[in-house]
Amino acid sequence: MDVQGLEKLWHVGTSTKRTDPPAGGRPQIGKFGIGKLATYILGHQLTYICRAKDGHVRAVTMDYKRIDKAAAEGELHIDPLKLSVRELNRKGLTDILKPLGVGSTVLPLIDAGVPLPSKKKKPVDDEFGHPDVAPRLRPALGHWSS
């Protein structure tokens, strides 16, 4: 994502998914708009790291403790939080990934880039009903949950 994309990523209560098609012909990610907000349950901070088409690796961190602090101080309305988009060099990226123990897996993926989806085949948008996926999920009894 570029800087504008990362800024739009954290808009809450608005979405351009219905008006702006996904970039590069990729399938839409997310549907109901609860993915970002669900991360609040998982941790105090969430950092998105991505490599844009221009080759720059960028990161933005949401610190949920800032919201918790404002709520604890009795604020009913919290002004928009300014999130800084950072450009990372190789050392900065390595430093972020090192404590997570995923550098040896994630760095090669970032270096290689993510291939665009094949235009030959319709992307799977129904993981439980699509014919290419359903046989692996549905055991002999005929239902994936049995």
Euclidean distance between the first and final Cα of the chain, in Å?
A: 40
Is the Cβ–Cβ distance between 97 and 104 less than 8 Å?
no
Q: Is the pLDDT of residue 50 over 90?
A: no
More confidently predicted of 3 and 89: 89
More confidently predicted of 38 and 129: 38
Could you state, in order of their start, the residue ranges of all structural domains in the chain?
A: 3-115, 117-146
Model confidence band, residue 138 (pLDDT cutoffs 50, 70, 90) = very low
30 vs 15, 35, 75, 139, 144, CA distance in Å? 11, 7, 30, 27, 22
Mean predicted confidence (pLDDT) in 16-35: 68
* Length of the chain as a residue count: 146
Question: For the segment 81-124, what is each residue's pLDDT rounded down to a tens digit?
Answer: 788 899 999 999 999 889 888 888 888 888 887 665 566 665 55
pTM above 0.85, yes or no: no
More confidently predicted of 39 and 22: 39
Q: What is the dihedral angle through the alpha carbons of 16, 29, 57, 15, rounded to the nearest 10 degrees?
A: 20
| Mean pLDDT of all residues belonging to the chain | 75
More confidently predicted of 76 and 71: 71
